[in-house]
Amino acid sequence: MTQPAAVLFDLDGTLVDTAPDLAAAANRLRESRGLPALPLADLRPVASQGARGLLRVAFGLQPEDHEFPVLREIFLEDYLSRICEQSTLFPGMVQVLHWLEENQIPWGIVTNKPGVLTTPLLAALALPVAPGVVVSGVTGN
């Protein structure tokens, strides 16, 4: 079997389970508006879509809606302030990263998550093996 030249991972929902922190930010925003929190099970399926998906489920909003930009900004500020309280590598990923390192296979992350969120998240996670490259989105969704 031929080893890959490199491995690239998506960040949210593939390498790292960020859904609990993203859902918590959406729920804090709901609660600040007098709405009850939604179960994680309702928000997890759209967590990898970022603010766009979470605000759609949490508030029924689309990017073209008048309220969307304001709520998106509040959501992102809140998420950034508590970016890695519950986020963790998915089970087995520590072993995968060590295996890649042991087999001298470079690995990296390619994500649509803006760099302003990616960098502090990765710093807080303290990955057991550093990625060779991280490519982030320029604008948030």
Q: Which residues are catalytic?
A: 10
59 half-sphere exposure, CB direction, 13 A CA radius: 26
In angstroms, what CA-CA distances link 66 with 29, 61, 88, 90, 113?
17, 9, 34, 36, 23
- CB 61, CB 71: distance < 8 Å: yes
CA distances from 119 to 20, 44, 70, 74 (A): 18, 22, 23, 19
Q: For residue 40, give both structure tokens.
A: 């994680």
- Strands 107-114 and 7-9, bridge-based pairing: parallel
